[in-house]
Amino acid sequence: MLGSLGRLWQTIRPIRGRLYLGLLSALLASLMALGIPQVLQLVVDRLHVGGTAAVVWTGCAIVLGLGVMEAALIYLRRVFAVSPSTLVEKNIRTAFYAKVLDMPVSFHDAWGSGQLLSRMMGDISTMRRWIAFGIIMAVTDAVTIVVGMALLIRSSALLALVFFLAAVPVSFIAYRFNRQYSRLSRLSQDQNGDLATTVEQSVQGIRVLKAFGRGPTALDGFTEQAEELRRTEVKKATAMARFDMFMFMLPELALGVALFIGLYLTATDQITVGALASYFATATLVTGPVRMLGMMLGQAVNAATALDRHYEVMDEPSTITSPAEPAAVDLAAARGEVRLDGVRFRYQDAPGHVPDVLAGADLVIRPGETMALVGVTGSGKSTLLQLVPRLYDVTAGGIAIDGVDVREMDLADLRTLTAVAFEDATLFSDSVRENVLLGADPSLTAEQSEALLLEALRTADAGFALELPEGVETRIGEEGLSLSGGQRQRLALARAIAARPAVLLLDDPLSALDTRTEEVVTGRLRDVLAGTTTLIVAHRTSTVALADRVALLDAGQIVAVGTHAELMESSSRYRWVIATQEEETRRDQDIETLTGELDLRGVRGEGR
């Protein structure tokens, strides 16, 4: 816990000055409060020996002044601490988001999105509360207890000893509480992350759950997870309640015993009445911080756990980065030749007995050529496509664009040279315009951007976007689920076209379109992206036939390259793969038709 809090202390270096001022304000406010019992002692003792009303009025004025000063200092504490802590929270959250964006796809394959969301929102907010309140109050409470004990000793050493003896068990109880609460706090936060993942997946897949009638099953699973979280929270609350019980009980017992002893000491003139009054007033003020000890420990544990979870992500190394000295790339003069030399790839979590997905693939795609990549399901076509822009890195071998290894390029340059359209089109909850122009050159003028947008939409046969309620300014909803599958694919293709890449990578992006529309779109692509090198993962014979050449991927290697007609004549393996893909395409179309009918019955989505 101390290690994580120490790292946080380094993170908040820019606002330490403000925090010190907040801490100073809190300490002075505490001292003002502790000064009031001392004034009370003087007033009571003076009255006891025949003081006048002036003593009372003077005492009241001093107490009022101390109270006003205490209130002003508490206000200053919040002014000094709260605003800068929110700035740090923003910086930490921004750095976390930047880290998540920078991490390779393999990282996101391993991490649940709900876990990342839980760390981004809940854990960072917990850290901010500790910065703004916890640190200052923990130090203030400790100083209040120490100074208060000194003042108790000044009033009566014997009575102070009684109070001290009651505080001794607190250390042991606090130690046990810290260990138990730390474990439960981490478990609770992890379960919260898992629960967030479940909710997010259910929302994203709501149509599938409805179409297959699995809503009740999903609810049962969620209920079980929620119950596990509830049990953990109950255990946390029980541990905190038990700790608070002792925090309240022990000081009260001490004050009860001290009352009897104090009355005896006063009766025997061993202490004055004012000293006894001062003792109880001071003890009452010290009791508050002692009781706060439980909350401070709980908050410290929660903050440390949140920090541990935060740094689990921040400490993950990014395995795909730009080289220290990237190769110079002339983006304007790029030809788009792609060369694969002995490319091997296996996923990091693949068992040892599983062969490499790619096992020495060699391929040359000529500048401006459209190359179709075919193979059986699971042969690694989509994986190969993602190796070009370094969404994953090759295990061995190399991939070069215009003779430069992609690992020697700056990532920004590489991903300017390339653009990808995936079969499972992902759109953002934004306008059509923002989605399509996501990868476009930001230096374009408004007129150029508008022309590029319209051209990309026309090329991808996505003119439906112009007929939406607000045209291209229409927000399409989370992940574009307000659109049909074919509409989402065409917008995703338009986004890739608008990026104007030298190398266009298409992972079967037209699978949701009918053959006629596919032919129209492909023809427009040839006209608009003349000179652009295109590698397309194809499952349909119609797509394959439109390509300049076809590469057959089998057993992790490119085993045949040629035109569709040439391979149909010379390769029995190619003929078998094409026949298999046609059968799979027909089966997928039957499933899509059935799912569409179910969707229409459930939500009446005609016209989308």
The answer on 143 and 259 residing in a single domain is yes
Residue 359, SS3 per DSSP: strand
In this structure, is residue 206 part of a structural domain? Answer: no
The answer on 125 and 175 residing in a single domain is yes
In this structure, is the dihedral angle defined by the CA atoms of residues 348, 352, 353 and 358, taken in order, positive or negative?
A: positive
The answer on 266 and 145 residing in a single domain is yes
Nearest Cα neighbor of 348 from 308, 320, 328, 324 is 320
The answer on 52 and 115 residing in a single domain is yes
Cα→Cα distances 493→266, 423, 426, 479, Å: 90, 10, 11, 15
Phi and psi of 6, rounded to 5°? -65, -40
CATH number at residue 574: 3.40.50.300
Phi and psi of 228, rounded to 5°? -60, -40
Residue 67, token pair as written in the block = 């109270």
In this structure, is residue 449 part of a structural domain? Answer: no
The C-alpha atoms of residue 579 and residue 541 are separated, in whole angstroms, by: 9
The answer on 348 and 307 residing in a single domain is no
For 306-324, the three-class secondary structure string (H helix, E strand, C coil) is HHHHHHHHHCCCCCCCCCC
For 197-247, the three-class secondary structure string (H helix, E strand, C coil) is HHHHHHHHCHHHHHHCCCHHHHHHHHHHHHHHHHHHHHHHHHHHHHHHHHH
Number of domains in the chain: 2
Phi and psi of 346, rounded to 5°? -145, 145
At 362, which helix (H) or strand (E)? strand 358-365
In this structure, is residue 163 part of a structural domain? Answer: yes
pLDDT at 608: 33
Strand bridging mode 418-421 / 503-507: parallel
Mean pLDDT by 10 residues, the chain (608 residues): 68 85 91 89 78 80 91 90 85 89 85 80 84 85 87 87 79 72 81 80 68 75 88 88 81 84 87 86 83 72 83 88 91 91 90 89 93 90 93 94 94 91 80 89 88 90 88 78 79 88 85 71 76 86 82 93 92 89 64 48 38
Cα→Cα distances 536→370, 407, 458, Å: 7, 22, 20
The C-alpha atoms of residue 81 and residue 79 are separated, in whole angstroms, by: 6
Cα→Cα distances 292→176, 252, 378, 460, 548, Å: 17, 14, 59, 64, 75
In this structure, is residue 216 part of a structural domain? Answer: no
The C-alpha atoms of residue 244 and residue 293 are separated, in whole angstroms, by: 9
CATH number at residue 31: 1.20.1560.10
Residue 244's CB is within 10 A of a number of other CB atoms, namely 16
The answer on 359 and 264 residing in a single domain is no
Amino acid (1-letter code) at residue 361:
A
Q: Which residues pair with 550 in a beta bridge?
A: 372, 562
Residue 254, token pair as written in the block = 């001490």
The answer on 410 and 285 residing in a single domain is no
The answer on 359 and 310 residing in a single domain is no
User: Do 544 and 388 form a contact (C-beta atoms < 8 A)?
Assistant: no
In this structure, is residue 23 part of a structural domain? Answer: yes
Residue 558, SS3 per DSSP: strand
Print the domain residue range for 579.
336-427+501-602
Q: What is the pTM of this model?
A: 0.73
Residue 361's CB is within 10 A of a number of other CB atoms, namely 25
Residue with tokens 């694969």: 340
The C-alpha atoms of residue 442 and residue 94 are separated, in whole angstroms, by: 22
The answer on 177 and 278 residing in a single domain is yes
In this structure, is residue 549 part of a structural domain? Answer: yes
User: Do 504 and 401 form a contact (C-beta atoms < 8 A)?
Assistant: no
The answer on 134 and 79 residing in a single domain is yes
Could you say which of 280, 314, 348 is where a domain stops? 314
In this structure, is residue 554 part of a structural domain? Answer: yes
In this structure, is residue 309 part of a structural domain? Answer: yes
The answer on 248 and 352 residing in a single domain is no
At 179, which helix (H) or strand (E)? helix 157-204
Residue 2, token pair as written in the block = 């101390």
Cα→Cα distances 286→34, 149, 401, Å: 9, 8, 71
The answer on 363 and 243 residing in a single domain is no
What are the residues whose beta carbons fall under 8 Å from the beta carbon of 529, sequence distance 6 or more?
Answer: 459, 497, 504
